[in-house]
Structure 1
Amino acid sequence: MSRQWLAAVSLAPLLGITQTLLDACAIAGFSVLLITLHHLAMGSLHRWLAARGRMLASVLLAAALTTCLELSLRAWALPLHQALTPYPTLIAVQCLMFEYAQGENRHWRDTAQLLGAFAALCIALGLCRELLAGWAGLRLAALLPGAFFLLGLLLALYNRVCLRRAPSRRQGKC
């Protein structure tokens, strides 16, 4: 399992719920919290269970954590629950993908970097979409296709600023 699968699984909440900064911060916080709790609990169960038992325990734990989140949002933050409606349940899939991607190598540093990058991307996308839709009057930014465009622009900016430039000459044969 590679980081590309984790990115693909994270796209639905990333693009779907980041219309406002509040929604983006909420889904980023809930994702980081639930994945961290899942990682902690599975870390302690990892040495006691066989491979099949670990998978079953991981699925049950992810479902229990997301159910607790759903019920607590319904009880104490109904407007937030209604704004986030289908996306908090998708965090269970993210928990399973993180668990599966970790495998036997359970390094906290890698998990923290991935979760931090996901949270930063959620918040940046939510902020950009809210600014463009609300203040600049660009209604496309509030819609899902606008989220795809904005994500592409943010990734291009990241590639331009953070990654080295490719060599000017072509490599390989055409």
Structure 2
Amino acid sequence: MASYREIAINGLWKNNPGLVQLLGLCPLLGVSNSVVNALGMAIATALVLACSNAAVALIRRQVTDAVRLPAFVMIIAALTTCIELLMQAFTYELYQILGIFIPLITTNCIILGRAEAFAAKNSVAHASFDGLMMGTGFGLVLLAIGAVRELLGTGALLANMHLLFGPIAANWQLVLFADYQGFLLAILPPGAFLVLGLLIALKNRIDAVVAERAKADQPEAAPAASRRVRVTGVIE
């Protein structure tokens, strides 16, 4: 059973759903044209992911292989419906903007994949934490794409945050570039592909640099190990 530290690292970086597994790209690219849209989808996905993992882990010993996948889908669909009803009740305008992408959480490959690959084989606590970390990793990618696209497209950040947090967030908008003419490509679907590609390239570059540094540190320990082998041979 993986430790909580390993689960967190996998969800946030090593096995990030958006940057490594490339799952859930439909909502990732479809609603990431602003921070508020990305944050709304990120919270909804993370809640469904964490709760569905917990529910699957709870019933994993009582469900047979013949009905396992249908049972998982029913659990995910029920939780998605709950999130949808909550958004209709408290953030109706944002729910209308996100549209079909909220019900489509049911078919999100991340959620069903984690239910089958992890939650069905681990305890409730570990499965819940895995769902939370995977959802957080996915949400961070969503927020990064949304922030870059909103900034490049409008020259501002945190616009329309009142749709998610109510009147208290009416003045949260930050205008970083006054008299900005806008960059239309950034807020159109092709802009989402470009920003996602740049984020993947950045992650791969960081991983390569870390691997190079780790490899550079290895030769220092190698001579000492070889000396120990030679000394042992002489003694024998």
TM-score for the superposition, normalised by structure 1: 0.83
Q: Cα gap change, 1:29/1:163 in structure 2, threshold over 3 Å: closer, same or farther?
A: farther
Alpha-carbon offset, residue 105 of structure 1: 3.5
**1:143 and 2:163 are equivalent in the alignment:** no
**1:74 and 2:107 are equivalent in the alignment:** no
Once residues 41 and 211 of structure 2 are traced to their aligned partners in structure 1, the CA distance between those partners, rounded to angstroms, is: 35
Tell me, which stretches of 5 or more residues in structure 2 are unaligned?
1-14, 156-179, 213-236
3-state SS, counterpart of residue 65 of structure 1:
helix
Q: List per-residue Cα deviations over 1:40-61 (Å, max 9, x = no partner).
A: 1111111111112322221111
- Paired residue for 2:42, among 25, 28, 46? 28
3-state SS, counterpart of residue 160 of structure 1:
helix
Residue 209 (structure 2) aligns with: 164
Count of residues in correspondence between the two structures: 165
2:29–2:193 contact (8 Å) kept in structure 1: yes
Q: Cα gap change, 1:69/1:110 in structure 2, threshold over 3 Å: closer, same or farther?
A: closer
Q: Which amino acid aligns with 2:188?
A: L
Alpha-carbon offset, residue 156 of structure 1: 1.1
Tell me, which stretches of 5 or more residues in structure 1 are unaligned?
168-174
Residue 102 (structure 2) aligns with: 88
Of 126-135 and 60-69, deviating more is 60-69
Residue 135 (structure 2) aligns with: 115
1:28–1:119 contact (8 Å) kept in structure 2: yes
1:125–1:147 contact (8 Å) kept in structure 2: yes
Structure of higher RCO (CA pairs closer than 8 Å, 6+ residues apart)? 1
1:129–1:142 contact (8 Å) kept in structure 2: yes
Larger Rg: 2
- Paired residue for 1:44, among 22, 41, 58? 58
Identity among equivalent positions (%) equals: 33
Q: List per-residue Cα deviations over 1:124-164 (Å, max 9, x = no partner).
A: 11111110101162110101001001111111112222333
Q: Cα gap change, 1:33/1:110 in structure 2, threshold over 3 Å: closer, same or farther?
A: closer
- Paired residue for 2:27, among 13, 17, 35? 13
TM-score for the superposition, normalised by structure 2: 0.62
1:45–1:54 contact (8 Å) kept in structure 2: no
